[in-house]
Structure 1
Amino acid sequence: MTAKFEAAFVPVAAAIEAGRIPGAVLGMVDRDGARTVRHLGQAQTTPVVRPMTENTWFDLASLTKTIFTTSRILSLADAGTIDLDAPLTTVLPDFRQYNPDAWERKITFRQCLGHQTPFPAVEPIYTYGRDPDLLRAFILQREWRAGPSVYSDINFILLGFALERLAKKTIRELDPGPGFGWSVDPQNCAATEDCMWRNRVLCGEVHDDNCSALHGSGHAGLFGTAASVLDFAQGLLDSTGASANAIALMRTPLSARRTHGWERPYDGWSGGQHCSDETIGHTGFTGTGLWLDFAAGRAWTLLTNRVHPTRHFDSGIIELRRAVGDAVNRS
């Protein structure tokens, strides 16, 4: 694993040296627990400078979908609490309650997990206000514009609402899982964006605008370190971190690009072109990513602060992720 790791770190170091990303932590783990982690660069560059460390916390962004929300939805399905093929209205009966025939009322848990719904890709929910209860009501009652099935945060926002209803707690009152958190001491966290509407550099608080306005949601908001992400990945590789059925569903295709909650290999995907067909993965907008190759018994995570200090810059993160994946998996 050492030679593969060394090769995978080369493009990471080059991206930092070129000023494309401030810093990064790269980690690999195998099914038996052998792991390697390395860091480089800066956790923050403005208004202060702080170095990246192996233990730096990251805003994991959409890795929340896989590590937290998908895992808990599949656990509830295992327990018989929910039926993946039942509509969300079995838990959210007030969803579009003023129109019994609304298409939204027919959307199922499984469709949300696989992004097989007509919800729009992007919706600036945060622009409608900062009251989280009012925004929840807005999301549940608005008439959504329907379109082709695309990757949409709305799917996992709704799954998060279902978790909240069943637990009778908000997302941020739920246990984020071992080694994870919903907020972090800024001194120990990689900074994200100099936010144009919050008027500050974000560090230790969620970057995602909609998650911030909702005060927690199912699509973003989880914080973790390379160690906690690798611990989670190893639990899936060695079958100790979830039930056999849940892990099987994470690996079961729902479309050409997606499984239950995860992505699967396709031409040009983030994991590179050399991984096996038994690989799943996911990325986060802030510059994070996790990939698991079950055939090889290996997982790798690349955690960067590529949106610091701004998202409006070509960080090259797409090419970097692919280069790392190819180096990890090239024979």
Structure 2
Amino acid sequence: MYPKTQKCIKLKREAGIFTGVAYHFFDGQEEEQHVIGEAAVKPELEKLTKDHLFDVASLTKVICTTSVILRLIEQDKVVLDAPLVTYLPDFQDARITIRHLLTHTSDIVTWIPNRDQLNQQELRQSYLQLKAGECLGRSVKYTDAGTILLGFLIEEWYGETLTTIFEREVLQPLQMKQSYFPPLAKELLVVPTEQLTDGTVLRGVTHDPKARVLGQHAGNAGLFTTIDDIVLFVRMYLNNTGDYLKQSTIAMLQKDQTPNGKGARSLVWDLKGSWLFHTGYTGTFILMNVVQKKAMIFLSNRVHPNDFREGYIKERNEIIATYLDEIAFENVL
């Protein structure tokens, strides 16, 4: 399945863009999965398997935070165009709505002085004091702040810790039994991420520094999961039975949801034409077309042991372009 895309992935791995990758294709009723390369190169080589957990970084946004918010909207417990302060009274800017946060159109000024020196409670308070900029609702600017604040909203609504809510409202209903939040059990196979300046290799510890501090309260990152569990999540979208998310909700996600309808963003999901798309900083992405019943999951260890982000983005986009071109050629035939 998709030989040109697979060749492209293989060449990227051989070039050292990432040392290990697990990827999965969906095409109608057919599926195909491959796991190649190493999970780790430091402190020693370790072969990657389908049972390895990846720190999927911002895929946490679409798998967990977005799923819970969408279900609250379906149940009329949250209104898309209501101000965040309606549900999170401690937030300071009454102009910012749920839609702004979900579409990255809040133009929120995210600079927090001495952010990396703050403890969990101090960082939470700093997020509650953020304000919108002059382009509120008019321009798309990707930020972690939106899903962090939505995570606080979810905790406020349920009166529970966010990761506890994610486990009950997302992981259990979707049967994602190989998905966890730190602290992880020592016996689990985990793909390491970056080597810090002191030589420490992060393994089973959230790569994103903000989510690392916020811990069980982080809505932007923190999920560790396997390729097979993300298959279950994507299959829910592609099967579109209405058992988890309503069919009308998934149909709505395929349309531009920015306030002016010109931002090419759905609710948290990015839009590539008719494709839903989201990445994770550590080297992950989900790309899917619900109408065509096609999708690609890509989990790599691209930040291990070093983070070369700019170069990686170019290489990742070439993989995606090859995949979409291959599908377009098939459709012509």
Structure 1 unaligned regions, length at least 5 = 97-103, 266-276
Question: Structure 2 vs 1, CA of residues 192 and 146 (structure 1 numbering), >3 Å: closer, same or farther?
Answer: farther
* Contact 1:31–1:297 (Cα < 8 Å) also in 2: yes
Give the 3-state SS of the residue equivalent to 2:287 in structure 1.
strand
| 1:203-256 deviations in Å (ceiling 9; x for gaps) | 122111110011141111112211111111111111134112321232121233
Question: Structure 2 vs 1, CA of residues 322 and 55 (structure 1 numbering), >3 Å: closer, same or farther?
Answer: farther
Question: Share of identical aligned residues, percent?
Answer: 29
Structure 2 unaligned regions, length at least 5 = none
Instruction: Specify which of 271, 282, 287 is matched with residue 264 of structure 1.
Output: 271
In the other structure, the counterpart of 1:188 is: 189
Aligned residues: 307
In the other structure, the counterpart of 1:224 is: 225
For 1:212 and 1:13, how far apart are their aligned partners in 2? 32
For 2:212 and 2:18, how far apart are their aligned partners in 1? 24
Question: Structure 2 vs 1, CA of residues 174 and 288 (structure 1 numbering), >3 Å: closer, same or farther?
Answer: same
Question: Structure 2 vs 1, CA of residues 30 and 230 (structure 1 numbering), >3 Å: closer, same or farther?
Answer: farther
For 2:163 and 2:112, how far apart are their aligned partners in 1? 22
| 1:4-49 deviations in Å (ceiling 9; x for gaps) | 2x332111111111112111011012454x3211011111111122
In the other structure, the counterpart of 1:9 is: 6
* Contact 1:289–1:303 (Cα < 8 Å) also in 2: yes
For 2:294 and 2:111, how far apart are their aligned partners in 1? 33
In the other structure, the counterpart of 1:23 is: 20
In the other structure, the counterpart of 2:200 is: 200
TM-score by length of 1: 0.85
* Contact 2:106–2:133 (Cα < 8 Å) also in 1: no
Once structures 1 and 2 are overlaid, which stretch shifts more, 251-260 or 201-210?
Answer: 251-260
For 1:15 and 1:258, how far apart are their aligned partners in 2? 28
For 1:92 and 1:82, how far apart are their aligned partners in 2? 11
Once the 2 structures are TM-superposed, how far is the Cα of residue 142 of structure 1 from its aligned partner? 4.7
For 1:209 and 1:328, how far apart are their aligned partners in 2? 37
What is the letter of the counterpart of residue 253 of structure 2?
A: M
Query: How do 1:47-196 residues align onto structure 2 when only pairs under 5 Å count?
Result: 47-96=43-92, 104-120=93-109, 126-129=115-118, 131-142=119-130, 149-176=140-167, 177=171, 178-179=175-176, 180-183=179-182, 184-185=184-185, 188-196=189-197
Question: Structure 2 vs 1, CA of residues 161 and 196 (structure 1 numbering), >3 Å: closer, same or farther?
Answer: farther
TM-score by length of 2: 0.85
Instruction: Specify which of 240, 247, 254 is matched with residue 250 of structure 2.
Output: 247
Question: Root-mean-square deviation (CA), in Å?
Answer: 2.2
Give the 3-state SS of the residue equivalent to 1:289 in structure 2.
strand
What is the letter of the counterpart of residue 224 of structure 1?
A: T
For 1:125 and 1:117, how far apart are their aligned partners in 2? 23
In the other structure, the counterpart of 2:300 is: 304
* Contact 2:8–2:322 (Cα < 8 Å) also in 1: yes
For 2:72 and 2:159, how far apart are their aligned partners in 1? 14
For 1:243 and 1:22, how far apart are their aligned partners in 2? 38
Question: Structure 2 vs 1, CA of residues 165 and 244 (structure 1 numbering), >3 Å: closer, same or farther?
Answer: same
For 2:322 and 2:111, how far apart are their aligned partners in 1? 28
| 1:265-307 deviations in Å (ceiling 9; x for gaps) | 1xxxxxxxxxxx4211111111000011123211111110111
* Contact 1:251–1:260 (Cα < 8 Å) also in 2: no
For 1:128 and 1:328, how far apart are their aligned partners in 2? 47
Question: Structure 2 vs 1, CA of residues 68 and 287 (structure 1 numbering), >3 Å: closer, same or farther?
Answer: same
In the other structure, the counterpart of 1:238 is: 239
* Contact 2:109–2:131 (Cα < 8 Å) also in 1: no
For 2:153 and 2:134, how far apart are their aligned partners in 1? 21
| 1:90-133 deviations in Å (ceiling 9; x for gaps) | 1111111xxxxxxx22111111111111114776874141x212
For 1:17 and 1:133, how far apart are their aligned partners in 2? 44
* Contact 1:160–1:171 (Cα < 8 Å) also in 2: yes
